[in-house]
Structure 1
Amino acid sequence: MTDDAASETGEAHIDDSVLDRTADRFDVDAGTIADALVVLHADLIGRHSAFETDHEYATVDDTRAYRVPESTWDDLREEFDFEDRVGDAVEFAHTEQAKLVFAEAHDADERFEEDDRGVVAGIDTAEDF
């Protein structure tokens, strides 16, 4: 993750540049997106083992990114009851951040395909072992 993580979204492991692009693209207030990202992140940090079992992942610094199918986001949207535009924005932000992590961690042939989605979550030191 780059050093431009906003204080609002740094906790959710989303760069502020990704947040800004997302807010502009979906015409949703950045604060609303940041709040949704933080709430979602609090739950995602407990799902690493399930995601690692089922999905390809990359880790850069203290951020782990997973390449997931669209159905994963369908489930997350339903579980967290995101409004349509907010859900679209949160999914986009996660996917964009995951692409950045994969690009930094892997060769060019490991990049996301058009239909791939991403999920990012912070990791703590114990999970690195």
Structure 2
Amino acid sequence: MTDETTVDTGEAPITGAVVERVAAEAAPDAAAVVDALLALNAELLGRHSAFERTADYVTVDGKRAYRVDEDRWASLIEDLGFAASTAAAVRAAHTEQARLLFASAVEADDGFAPDEVGVVVGVDTAEQF
């Protein structure tokens, strides 16, 4: 894309720049990736406490990024019925965004292990209290 604008991701806690990079390498286009991210985001809202008990996380700019294992990711995404290419794009977008958030929040971030996946959720104000 040009430097005019990036993809609008709406309520999804993934930046348009991340969606653009993922869509450039994946079968679904950016609009399909955004739609899938929004569907997943709706499923993730309110699940902070479950992730917090079992995963490392950081909170940056109203977004919370978690490191989860492959099995946790698979169980999270399987009920949404995404095509394999869409599921792969959503995973890539969440993991890239989580890596960026961890890198910005942790001075010496040790990176993600090969079997770790990122999950990013917007921090709902009601859950902060």
Same fold by TM-score greater than 0.5:
yes
CA distance in 2, matches of 1:10, 1:105: 23
**Match of 1:63, as an amino acid?**
K
Contact 1:6 1:16 in 2 (8 A): yes
Q: Paired residue for 2:73?
A: 73
Deviation at 1:82, TM superposition (A): 1.1
- Larger helix fraction of residues: 1
Against the structure 1 CA distance between its residues 5 and 94, is the aligned structure 2 distance closer, same or farther, given a 3 Å change threshold?
farther
Inter-partner Cα distance in structure 2 for 1:60 and 1:6: 21
Q: Distance in 2 between matches of 1:124 and 1:73?
A: 21
Letter in 2 for 1:46: G
Match of 1:87 in 2: 87
Alignment of 1:7-46 (within 5 A): 7=8, 9-46=9-46
Opposite residue 40 of structure 2, the aligned amino acid is L
Q: Secondary structure at the match of 2:14?
A: coil
The CA deviation string for residues 20-53 of structure 1, in whole angstroms up to 9 with x for no partner, is 0110111311111100100110110121110011
Matched-pair contact (CA < 8 Å) for 1:23–1:33: yes
Superposition deviation, residue 71 in structure 1: 0.6
Q: Return 5+ residue gaps in structure 1 as ranges.
A: none
Q: Which residue of 1 aligns with 2:62?
A: 62
CA contact (8 A) 1:94 1:118 kept: yes
CA distance in structure 2 between the partners assigned to 1:109 and 1:119 by the alignment: 16
The answer to whether the 8 Å contact 1:102/1:110 transfers is no
Change (3 A) 1:91 1:56: same
The TM-score, its normalising length taken from structure 1, stands at 0.89
The code of the aligned residue for 2:33 comes to: I
What is the Cα deviation at residue 127 of structure 1? 2.8
Pair 12,103 (structure 1): closer, same or farther in 2 beyond 3 Å: same
SS at match of 1:119: strand
Compute the displacement of 1:6 (Å): 4.2
Query: How many residues were matched structurally?
Result: 125
Percentage of pairs with the same residue:
50
Structure 2: where are the runs of 5+ without partners? none
Question: What secondary structure, in the 3-state scheme, does the structure 1 residue paired with 2:114 have?
Answer: coil
